[in-house]
Amino acid sequence: MYYSGLIRLSRRDMWLLNTENDELVSVNNPRSVRYAALSHMWSKDPLVPELSFHDLRRIQEQVRAAREKDPTVPEDAVLARASPKICSACAYARDDGIGLLWADTCCIDKSSSAELGEAINSMYSWYSSSTVCYVFLHDVDG
């Protein structure tokens, strides 16, 4: 159904964040899995930067290395270092029984212009194929 690891994405593939173990996984047919999507404004606050694909990969590698030294590193160690927005979206998805999340900030490899172009062209399909779409309104109080 889905698999992890760095691979070249084709037009139908997308990266999703596993809300249970914080791993990025590649899904070759988004319509075949249940996932949540996050619709949001990107933060302009330098104190709360957006988590990029490469930031997430770097954090995942650091946590893996820490776990090799200390197996008691908690399951949510990656998300603990992510933005509150991503953490909250993952928590909402888990509460709704959805194990995967798509957020454009951390699920698109923007270093590859080809992948970025394919992702931009696929975004409507990805939002419409999601099981649920969470909307984060940074300027609205709870």
In order of 4, 39, 46, 70, the CA distances from 138 in angstroms are: 31, 11, 15, 36
What does the mean pLDDT of the chain come to? Answer: 83
User: Per-residue confidence at 12, pLDDT binned at 50, 70, 90?
Assistant: low
Residue with the larger pLDDT of the pair 84 and 2: 84
- Report how far residue 74's alpha carbon sits from residue 60's, in angstroms, rounded to the nearest whole number: 13
Q: Which two tokens stand for residue 47?
A: 């104190």
User: Per-residue confidence at 17, pLDDT binned at 50, 70, 90?
Assistant: very high
